[in-house]
Chains A and B, each alone.
Chain A
């Protein structure tokens, strides 16, 4: 815990920060990756285990592409138009969000980026991220509504993601 905090200049926000600092998280059901000595046993177990068991034992991947391999195969980050076409052919519905650098970023209340929904990816954009329609990266295999964030090639936000 931090012994000293800087302040936000707003009393309620500082208090909220202290309450967040004081949170003691309840332990979550999480099985760590196996140690080497256990790997063999788990490997044998995997021979008879179902994919559902494997999903419980190991921490699942976080990206949509990892959960939905067909999405991973369809994504070409440098070509959002082709990606959208391929995903639609697979039965996905795609909502496009254009993310651009905010020239006023750094000022109070100014986001690092601007965003707006677009009907189709503009020319010269690349794919920034793929998520569910709510912007959540945790999806289930039945997910069919996707949100794809795109950004102009050369933008700061794209560079920071592709580094």
Chain B
């Protein structure tokens, strides 16, 4: 049993924790979505969910708080990748509109997240894929076709379509973040 609860459970404590961690969460999400606007939407939902459940936070250090925020962000991101849209349930419940990113903000997030480098890396990896993998990836990710449709379009079996998409995503996922396979895991 923990001796005392972190200040995060209080309103002021939450506000301070937000200021401390919001930027890191935004950059974390920007690196994984490659889109600052989407990253801001997901950041907003992350903190809305955290705000709603702040009294359930059981940690007692700032590191625990960071781990808790990132855990929620990870789940929000995972649902975004699975569904293709940013969830806004907690934001809606709290009645919060997400502010828009002004051009200066946009440039700052792109810079902080190193998105230009990241986009370059993705473009390089895409260019290095074989034609068949790139085409399968295009049909799945850009055109959002189901695997049986991809199989028909490419005149291959559905397992083969899944395998091509999976390999393509794994290759690009490694370029984005060598320590995780999140994108590949979530999309296949």
Contact = CB atoms under 8 A, between A and B. Distances in A.
Contacts of A2: 12, 15-16
B101 interface: yes
B99 A12 contact: yes
Is chain B's binding surface mostly helix, strand, loop or mixed? helix
Interface in A85-139: 105, 108-117, 134-137
Nearest to A23: B94
Given A8-B23, A20-B15, A116 B94 contact: no
A6 interface: yes
Contacts of A13: 22-23, 26, 40, 43, 105
Given A12-B99, A19-B99, A109 B15 contact: no
A20 B28 contact: no
Contact of B108 (A9, A110, A136): A9
A114 B79 CA distance: 18
A37 to B, nearest CB: 25
Contacts of A25: 52, 94
Interface string A20-42: 11010100000000000000000
Contact of B102 (A11, A112, A157): A11
B170 interface: no
Contacts of B2: 163
B31 A16 contact: no
Contacts of B67: 111-113, 157, 160
Contacts of B14: 20
A105 B65 CA distance: 13
B180 to A, nearest CB: 5
Contacts of A23: 51, 94-96
Interface string B16-57: 101100111011101100000000100110011001100010
B102 to A, nearest CB: 6
Nearest to A163: B2
A23 to B, nearest CB: 5
Interface residues of A, number: 39
B92 interface: no
Given A23-B94, A25-B94, A111-B70, A16 B113 contact: no
Given A12-B105, A108-B27, A135 B74 contact: yes
Interface in A59-85: 62
B8 to A, nearest CB: 13
A109 B28 contact: yes
Given A19-B96, A20-B96, 20 more contacts: A2-B12, A2-B15, A5-B15, A6-B16, A8-B22, A10-B23, A12-B40, A12-B99, A13-B23, A13-B26, A17-B15, A20-B14, A20-B48, A62-B56, A108-B24, A108-B112, A109-B31, A109-B112, A116-B179, A117-B181
Interface of A: 1-2, 5-13, 15-17, 19-21, 23, 25, 62, 105, 108-117, 134-137, 156-157, 160, 163
